[in-house]
Structure 1
Amino acid sequence: MFLSTERLVVRRFRVGDAEAFSGYRSVPEVAQWQSWEAPYSMEEAVKAVEAFAAGDPLVPGWFQYAVDRDGVLIGDIGVNLHENLMQAEIGYTFAPEYQGQGYATEAVRGLLGLLFVERKLHRVSAECDARNVSSARLLERLGFRLEGLRLSNTWFKGEWTDDQLFGLLASDWPT
């Protein structure tokens, strides 16, 4: 376990998470904003979960954290640690039945505390499709600033999309 919040545990992935992982990543409304296509097969899920379980959150690159509520995988948070070990980019995905209940806010807030307070990161950034209003609102709730809008920047799933860029500095994180 990396951290716990009032209702959640943020932990390393386990092989037993593959079914739930495949389940929520197979929902078209979830996959719409992400790099994968729905459905997300069990074979893909098993491979991904095994790779996530073997990862090291302290080395540069992406590390995927499992978000657990009462022993059930409800989502995941990815952290892309920069080579300088002082900044990172985050992304998150939650099962639809757990959206809109504050779980993503709670889990990401807890992880930001870990990154800023324990790991002493200077900056955390995120970006999202400008049409993904829920994701942008989550980032703003957590204190991220909208730092930019790149118009028609990314060729994504057959169309050009606008990217919103967000950032949060350690100096702006409540201690």
Structure 2
Amino acid sequence: MTTLTTPRLTIRPLTEADLPALVAYRNDPEVARFQGWPLPSTPQQERQLISNSPLGAAGWVQRALVTPTGELVGDVGLNTQHPQAELGITLSRAAQGQGYAQEALEALLDFCFSELKLHRVHAAIDPRNRAVARLLLRLGFRHEGTHIQSYWHRGEWTDDAVYAVLREEWKRG
């Protein structure tokens, strides 16, 4: 079981006890707006994210973001297809704007490049999610392109912006 720690977060596997909070924030319209999961989110649906697979196992592996008080404030996912991976992050509305996303993604990227020795990590986002686009750029990702109206999402054709960072670029300089 892979667990990462930062000054304010423990990044650990999701558990059955996390389901009420997970379902609650994933059903928040502001949180779910740019995310791809079906609504409404249900405990049965979110239970599929519970796994003891190690980070770096093939496919999506989800992790809880938990504060020292035990509060679940979000989750991160890593979809590893060696030597690359896609990442994603979701924060509860109350946790947004407090630096948790940057802190969690820095720890995850450090793990990806130092422990897993990945070559490239990318993220695909709805470009209307400007806060995440700015975060990815701050983390050293580059915008590689935007696929225009490339998928049907919540009743509309939606763009998909791709950002990526290479191991040799991570924390360079």
> Gapped runs of 5+ residues in structure 2?
none
Give the number of equivalent residue pairs.
170
TM-score, reference length from structure 2: 0.92
What is the deviation of 1:171? 0.3
Could you say which residue in structure 2 is the equivalent of 1:73? 72
Amino acid aligned to 2:43:
M
Percentage of pairs with the same residue: 42
Q: Give the drift of 1:12.
A: 1.1
Hey, what's the Cα distance between the residues in 1 that align with 2:107 and 2:148?
A: 32
Mapped to 1, the partners of 2:44 and 2:83 lie a distance apart of 35
- Mapped to 1, the partners of 2:152 and 2:12 lie a distance apart of 33
TM norm structure 1? 0.91
Once the two structures are superposed, the pairs formed by residues 1-175 of structure 1 within 5 Å of their partners are 2-45=3-46, 47-49=47-49, 52-70=50-68, 71-82=70-81, 85-174=82-171
In structure 2, relative to structure 1, the CA distance for the partners of 1:42 and 1:5 (3 Å cut) is same
Q: Distance in 1 between matches of 2:97 and 2:167?
A: 27
Deviation (angstroms), 1:38: 4.0
More helix by share: 1
Paired residues of 1:81 and 1:87 also in contact (CA < 8 A)? yes
Structure 1 residue runs of 5 or longer lacking an equivalent are none
Which letter does structure 1 place at the counterpart of 2:20? E
Q: Which runs of 4+ in 1 moved over 6 A?
A: none
Cα RMSD, aligned residues only: 1.5
